[in-house]
Chains A and B, each alone.
Chain A
C-alpha cells in the first residue's frame, strides 16, 4: 500500500495508506512551495552547498583556470593563514579591527538608540530629526572618507568616525521603526494605570521594542564591518583591511584571501553571539 501511495500523483487521495507513509510522501517533496523539510535534510543540503563552493574553488585553482597570482588554491590560503597566525600578525590585525569596530559601533549605538526611541515616540521629535537623518542616510559613507581625514586625521578616531557615519543614521531610523511598530494599546494600558510619559517610555515603550532594537543592532553590526574595512583600506597602518591593501601591493593574493575570510568569520561569530544573546534576553518574544 505504501508503494502505491508513493506512486500516486499529487493530490490524489490514497485511502488506506498508512499515515506514516503519507507524511513521508509530503516531507519528501523538496520542490514544493513552503513545504517543511527535516532538519537533517536541511543540514545536509547546506553542507553540500558549502562543499561545492570550496570544491569549485579548489578545482579552479588545480586546473589553473587562472594564474596562481590571481587565484591561489585553498591550500595556499590555508598555509598563509597558518603562517600569519604563527607570526602573530593575524591576531594583531584581528584584535585591532575588532577593537575599532566595537568602539565605533558602541558610540553609534549609544547615540542612536535613545534618539530613535524619542523620534519613534514623539511626533515633534520625528519632525525635528527624521527628515534630516533620512537625507544624510543616502549620502554614501565612503564619500565621507576624505572629509573624515581632513577633520580628524588618520588616527583611531577617524575609523570610529567613519563607522559612526555609516551606522548611526541607519540605526536611528530603524530604531524609530521598531518603536513605532509597537501596538498603541500597550501605552494606553499604562495610561489607564495613571503612568506619565517618562514612566511609559521606561516601563512600556523600551521593553516592548527591545527585541526589535536588538535585531536592528545585529543587522547594523554587519554593515559596520563594511565601514571598518573601508576605513582600514584607505588610511591605516594596521588592521585586517590594511593587511589586504599591503598584500595587494606585493601581489600576495593568498593574504588578501586570508584577510577577507577572517573578516567574514569574525562578522559571522559576532552575529551568532548577538543572535544567541538575543534569544536568551527575549525569550518571551519567541513565537
Chain B
C-alpha cells in the first residue's frame, strides 16, 4: 500500500473543565489513503469535530500527531480545504467574491477560477448574489466551490449538510458524490448521519462515545458511480444496519453519561 495521505497517530485531546479534565480524544489512530473518501461518524459530543479541527490545524492536540504526506500539521494551511456547517460564507461578499477570497493571482485569473468552480456546483447564475439571497443548500455549495478552488490536498468537511432539510441534504450528497467521482480527492468527512456516511464513503470510521476512540473501520464496497437509487438497495441496508448497531451502542453510552452527571 502507498504511503497514506493523511495519518493520525496516537491523538489525544484533553480539555480543562471547571470540574477537572475532560478527555475528548483518547489515542486516535487511523490513516486515509490518497483519493480516498473517509467518513468519521459518531454521536454528538464524541469529539469528531474536535478531531477535524485538529486536522485542520485550528486546535492543538494534547499529544500525538497528524501527518499530511508525512509532514506534521502545526497550523492551518492551504494544503487542507475546510467546509464547516454554519457561517460558511462571508455575508458581505457575493458568491463570486466569496470564492475569489480564497484565491491568489491576478484579478482576471481569480475571476475565472472562481467562475469555473461556481459552475462546478451549478451556481454560475448566482455569482452576484449575496449569501442572504441564497438558500442554505446553495450557500454550502458555494462553500464547497471555495474549498475546492485552491486545490487543496485534502478536503475536510465538518457536518457540512447538518443544518439542511432532509430533501436538500440528499441532493447535496448526490452533488458531492458526483463531484468527487469526477475529480477524486482525499476527503475526511464528519457526520452523525448514517445514510450520509454509507452513501458518500469508501470507508466509515465509527467513533466511540467520549472519550473518543475509533471503534470500527468499515469499508463500503459499493460500486460507483452512486446515485440515489442506491438508497433502496439491499446492500445499502446491510451497511446501514451494521453502522446503526455500532452507533446505537455509543448513543446509549452517551445518554448514560449525561444521566450520570
CA distance A207 to B94 in the complex (A): 13
CA distance A138 to B132 in the complex (A): 39
Does chain A have a CB within 8 A of B168? Answer: no
- A188 near B58: Cβ-Cβ < 8 Å: yes
Does chain B have a CB within 8 A of A165? Answer: no
- B76 near A194: Cβ-Cβ < 8 Å: yes
Chain B residues lying within 8 Å of A284, measured Cβ to Cβ, are: 91-93, 130-132
Does chain B have a CB within 8 A of A186? Answer: yes
CA distance A186 to B143 in the complex (A): 12
List the count of A-B residue pairs having beta carbons below 8 Å apart. Answer: 55
Among A265-286, those with CB < 8 Å from B are: 282-286
CB closest chain-B residue, reference A195 = B76
Interface segment, one of B82-90, B172-180, B212-220, B237-245: B82-90
Does chain B have a CB within 8 A of A29? Answer: no
- A189 near B81: Cβ-Cβ < 8 Å: no
Chain A residues lying within 8 Å of B82, measured Cβ to Cβ, are: 188-189, 192
- A194 near B87: Cβ-Cβ < 8 Å: no
- A285 near B91: Cβ-Cβ < 8 Å: yes
Does chain A have a CB within 8 A of B102? Answer: yes
CB closest chain-A residue, reference B84 = A185
CA distance A192 to B87 in the complex (A): 14
Chain B residues lying within 8 Å of A194, measured Cβ to Cβ, are: 76-78
Given contacts A192-B80, A194-B76, A194-B78, contact A207 B92 (CB under 8 A): yes
Contact with A along B88-111 (1 / 0, CB 8 A): 101111000000011000000000
CA distance A182 to B130 in the complex (A): 18
CB closest chain-A residue, reference B87 = A185
- B92 near A208: Cβ-Cβ < 8 Å: yes
CA distance A191 to B84 in the complex (A): 13
Within the complex, what minimum Cβ distance (angstroms) separates A70 from chain B? Answer: 53
Contact with B along A180-199 (1 / 0, CB 8 A): 00010110110111100000
CA distance A183 to B87 in the complex (A): 7
Does chain B have a CB within 8 A of A287? Answer: yes
Does chain B have a CB within 8 A of A103? Answer: no
Does chain A have a CB within 8 A of B66? Answer: no
Does chain B have a CB within 8 A of A94? Answer: no
- B86 near A185: Cβ-Cβ < 8 Å: yes
Does chain B have a CB within 8 A of A106? Answer: no
Count residues on chain A whose CB falls below 8 Å from chain B CBs. Answer: 20
Q: Which of B87, B88, B91, B150 contacts A193 (CB 8 A)?
A: B150
Chain B residues lying within 8 Å of A210, measured Cβ to Cβ, are: 92
Does chain B have a CB within 8 A of A204? Answer: yes
CB closest chain-B residue, reference A187 = B58
Secondary structure of the A contact surface, majority rule: helix
Does chain A have a CB within 8 A of B40? Answer: no
CB closest chain-A residue, reference B98 = A189
Chain B residues lying within 8 Å of A185, measured Cβ to Cβ, are: 84, 86-88
Within the complex, what minimum Cβ distance (angstroms) separates B52 from chain A? Answer: 11
- A189 near B88: Cβ-Cβ < 8 Å: yes
Does chain A have a CB within 8 A of B56? Answer: yes
CA distance A186 to B78 in the complex (A): 16
- A287 near B132: Cβ-Cβ < 8 Å: yes
Given contacts A192-B56, A193-B101, A284-B130, contact A204 B87 (CB under 8 A): no
- B102 near A193: Cβ-Cβ < 8 Å: yes
Chain B residues lying within 8 Å of A283, measured Cβ to Cβ, are: 130
Within the complex, what minimum Cβ distance (angstroms) separates A191 from chain B? Answer: 4
Chain B residues lying within 8 Å of A193, measured Cβ to Cβ, are: 76, 78, 101-102, 150
Chain B residues lying within 8 Å of A183, measured Cβ to Cβ, are: 86-87
Given contacts A188-B58, A287-B132, contact A208 B90 (CB under 8 A): yes
- A191 near B91: Cβ-Cβ < 8 Å: no
Chain B residues lying within 8 Å of A285, measured Cβ to Cβ, are: 91-92
- A192 near B58: Cβ-Cβ < 8 Å: yes
Q: Which of B58, B87, B150 contacts A191 (CB 8 A)?
A: B58
CA distance A283 to B91 in the complex (A): 10
CA distance A282 to B92 in the complex (A): 8
- A204 near B58: Cβ-Cβ < 8 Å: no
Chain A residues lying within 8 Å of B131, measured Cβ to Cβ, are: 284
- A188 near B90: Cβ-Cβ < 8 Å: no
CA distance A194 to B81 in the complex (A): 10
- A286 near B132: Cβ-Cβ < 8 Å: yes
Within the complex, what minimum Cβ distance (angstroms) separates B159 from chain A? Answer: 13
CA distance A194 to B102 in the complex (A): 9
Among B35-84, those with CB < 8 Å from A are: 56-58, 75-78, 80-82, 84
Most B CB contacts (10 A, CB to CB) among A185, A189, A283, A287 go to: A189
Top 4 A-B pairs, shortest CB-CB distance? A185-B87, A191-B76, A192-B82, A183-B87
22 interchain pairs (CB within 8 A)?
Answer: A183-B87, A185-B84, A185-B87, A185-B88, A189-B82, A189-B84, A189-B88, A189-B90, A191-B57, A192-B56, A192-B76, A193-B102, A194-B78, A204-B90, A208-B90, A282-B92, A283-B130, A284-B91, A284-B93, A284-B130, A285-B91, A287-B132
Known: A185-B86, A189-B84, A284-B92. 6 other contacts (CB 8 A): A185-B84, A192-B56, A192-B80, A193-B76, A193-B78, A284-B91
